[in-house]
Structures are given as structure tokens and as C-alpha cells.
Structure 1
């Protein structure tokens, strides 16, 4: 179901939301368990926090409709990776999760309009 508010959101935000929903379904189908989606604090946002067995997985999702500006995963640079690591420490503190083995993944989605999305899951890359 869509609402008028959904249609008035900028296209890049709608693309990102669709990509994050697809990434969550994809990762769940791979056996991971979602703990948080779009977790926010004043310092920023984590797209997906999951578990893979006893490993905490923090996943950044990047969705693009074209690769004219490079593949989606290239949007995650070192400053973004450092911010994700800081936010992970904050998420653990806020959720009472002790330090556990943690993996940082990227799900990169290329989703041209009216085409089937191409999903790439890059494990342990940050």
C-alpha cells in the first residue's frame, strides 16, 4: 500500500528505502536475523544490524538506479566506514550488547527502473 506521502518523497529516498527492504529480505533468506532496521541516534544511522550465528553484522546498504557515478559500494568511503564503526559502538551501548565478534558488510544494489535489481553482498569489507 502506498500513500500520498510516499509519492511526494524524493525519488532517491524511495530508492534507498526499497533497497534497504530488499537487502533485509535477502540477508534473512541467507540465514541472518535482523535486530534493527534504520537505527538512528544524533550521530547518524545504521541501515541494518543483524546476527549471523554469534557474530554481530552491521550492514550498510547502497542502492543506485544507475552506475553512471560508479558502483553502489564505492559510495562507502573511509570516513563513512569510520562513522559506521562509531555508530556500532553506540548501538551496542544503547542495546546492552557486550563486545562480540563483529563483521561489517555492504549490500550493494543496482536497481534500474523497470528492471530486476542486481544484489551484491560484500562481507567483512569495512
Structure 2
């Protein structure tokens, strides 16, 4: 897929580092790696990415939308789940009903905020959909992508 690798702390180097300094940093790196792969996939599929890692800071609703994109007149909020290796459950299984409910709420807040700040979004493009992109990589470096599934309309 042509994704360039960075070290787990996000520093680009001419020779990529895949060491796991700690599980949390490595998990964060793998998640960002998956989100970059998903954004590239969406671009190639004709989506226009509007936001990456949008964070809602409302006190009663905290959370993040990994990617928000427009495809024709449809606005899609994406949850990206990435797993290394094939031993764990399929990444989409990590998206629970509770998570979907929160994603719907976050997407509604994003639409209101984005509409207020951008003329790009018209009233007619308010159709919102929640999709999941599930990515599996090889279990060891260089973590090449083995499978990318785009599950449409999960929420």
C-alpha cells in the first residue's frame, strides 16, 4: 500500500525503527499507521477527507472521530481499528453498540461545528453514515498490511 513507517514515537527516519519501547506507545503508533493507511485508501476510493483525529471537548461528550470524509453528498465518520497479526479477534469486533452510539453523537457535534466554520458543507450533504475500516497487519516488522476491510453503514 506504500505507507511509510515511522518510529513508535512518531519521528521519521531513513531506516524505520519498529522497536516496542512500551506497549502503549507501540499501540498508539500502530493506530496512527492504520489511520494513515485508511486515509490513503479512502482518497484512492474517491473520498475527500475533511478531518483526521477530530476531538470533541464538550464536558458531557468526550471522544474522537478517527476520520471524517465526504463521498459525493454523504458525510461519513470512520472508526479505524488496526491489529497486528491474526491471533486476536477481527478488529471490527472492538466496535461495540456503546461505541457506535458515541460515534453517532460525535458525528452530530462534528457536523454542527464544521457547518458553522466551513461553506464547503451544504445543507443537502447532511446525510451522515458511520463506517468502520478494519486493518490487519503482519505480526512482525515491517508490519505490511495484509487485509483492509471497509464495513459500510454500521451505525
TM-score normalised according to structure 2 size: 0.74
Unmatched 5+ residue regions in structure 2?
12-20, 116-120
Post-superposition, which runs of at least 4 consecutive aligned residues in structure 1 deviate over 2 A? 1-9, 66-69, 113-116
The correspondence for 2:150, drawn from 99, 102, 121, is 121
C-alpha distance in 1, partners of 2:6/2:47?
Answer: 28
From the CA coordinates, give the structure whose radius of gyration is larger: 2
CA contact (8 A) 2:49 2:68 kept: yes
User: Which 10-residue stretch deviates more, 105-114 or 32-41?
Assistant: 105-114
The alpha carbon displacement at 1:115 in A equals 4.8
**Larger helix proportion of the pair:** 1
User: Which 10-residue stretch deviates more, 30-39 or 99-108?
Assistant: 99-108
Corresponding residue pairs, total? 126
Between the two structures, name the one with larger relative contact order (CA 8 Å, sep ≥ 6).
1
The alpha carbon displacement at 1:2 in A equals 4.9
Secondary structure of residue in 2 paired with 1:108: strand
C-alpha distance in 2, partners of 1:68/1:76?
Answer: 18
The correspondence for 1:51, drawn from 70, 77, 87, is 70
The correspondence for 2:56, drawn from 19, 26, 41, is 41
Residue 31 (1) aligns with residue 50 (2):
no
The alpha carbon displacement at 1:6 in A equals 2.6
Matches within 5 A, 1:1-126: 2=6, 5-6=9-10, 10-42=25-57, 43-96=62-115, 98=123, 100-112=126-138, 113=140, 114-117=142-145, 118-126=147-155
Unmatched 5+ residue regions in structure 1?
none
TM-score normalised according to structure 1 size: 0.89
Residues 36-94 of structure 1, C-alpha deviations (whole Å, 9 max, x = no match): 00001221100000001000011110000033230001100001000100101110111
Aligned CA RMSD, in angstroms, stands at: 2.1
